[in-house]
Amino acid sequence: MTLGSTLIRGVVGPLFVGHGTQKLFGWFGGYGVEGTAGYFESLGLRPGKVHARAAGAAEAAGGALLTLGALTPLANTLISATMVTAIRKAHIKNGPWVTNGGYEFCACVIAAVTAVADAGPGRLSVDYQRFPDMYGPKWAALSLGAAVAGSYLATSEKVLKPGPAPAEGSIDVAGDPATISEPVATGS
């Protein structure tokens, strides 16, 4: 599948670099971190800026790796994780068809990049030269499994929500006024 893999890499890879930089920098008509964060917040992805930066970085990095055919299973994981999250948080409720806001596009991307992880990126790739055995059903399944797990972990409320802040003086920190037992000279 050298031709097919090369074609997928040459189309999906650069488009995902662009897709990620839309989120990160507002390039190519994107909304940047601020605009993406607002949309992510509306989906329940809080804090929105953290999710916007993570999704943008994963898409841009995954797209760049896919384009180069470098660490292809990792590229699959990064791109697929964002697509799994998009399906779960934005599209599943709308059914499959993209015309109704559905998940068809995301599912096609996941299938395409997983096919490259299975078949290999082709001869014109970094992996062919450096990691010639880093492809096949095992790599495809592992990277897809990591994408699904990563999507759930990254959107877990327990992962990103901080616990309550300690009360003033409840933790001994040098210089904390509540923990200083002797008056401090101020040299005025």
Rounded (10°) angle between helices 72-86 and 2-25: 60
- Which two structure tokens, joined as six digits, stand for 79? 């791109």
- Which two structure tokens, joined as six digits, stand for 73? 């299973």
- Give the predicted TM-score (pTM) of the model: 0.83
Distance, CA of 123 to CA of 129 (rounded, Å): 8
pLDDT of residue 176: 44
- Which two structure tokens, joined as six digits, stand for 180? 């200083």
pLDDT of residue 159: 56
HSE-CB at 70 with a 13 A cutoff on CA atoms is 8
- Which two structure tokens, joined as six digits, stand for 139? 């790599």
Distance, CA of 41 to CA of 14 (rounded, Å): 27
Answer yes or no: is 175 within a domain: no
pLDDT of residue 158: 67
- Closest CA relative to residue 151, chosen from 92, 82, 105, 61: 82
pLDDT of residue 2: 83
Answer yes or no: is 126 within a domain: yes
Concatenated DSSP letters of 96-135: S-GGGT-SHHHHHHHHHHHHHHHH---SSSHHHHH-TT--
Answer yes or no: is 173 within a domain: no
Answer yes or no: is 104 within a domain: yes
> Which range marks the domain in which residue 53 is found?
2-163
pLDDT in 10s for each residue of the chain, 188 residues: 589 999 999 999 999 999 999 999 999 999 999 999 999 999 999 999 999 999 999 999 999 999 999 999 999 999 999 999 999 999 999 999 999 999 999 999 999 999 999 999 999 999 999 999 999 999 999 999 999 999 999 998 765 555 454 455 544 444 444 444 445 455 54
CA distance from start to end of the chain: 78
pLDDT of residue 7: 96
pLDDT of residue 150: 97
Domain count, the chain: 1
- Closest CA relative to residue 70, chosen from 21, 127, 146, 129: 127
Answer yes or no: is 98 within a domain: yes
- Which two structure tokens, joined as six digits, stand for 7? 């074609």
Measure the CA angle with vertex 21, ends 102 and 14; round to 5°: 80
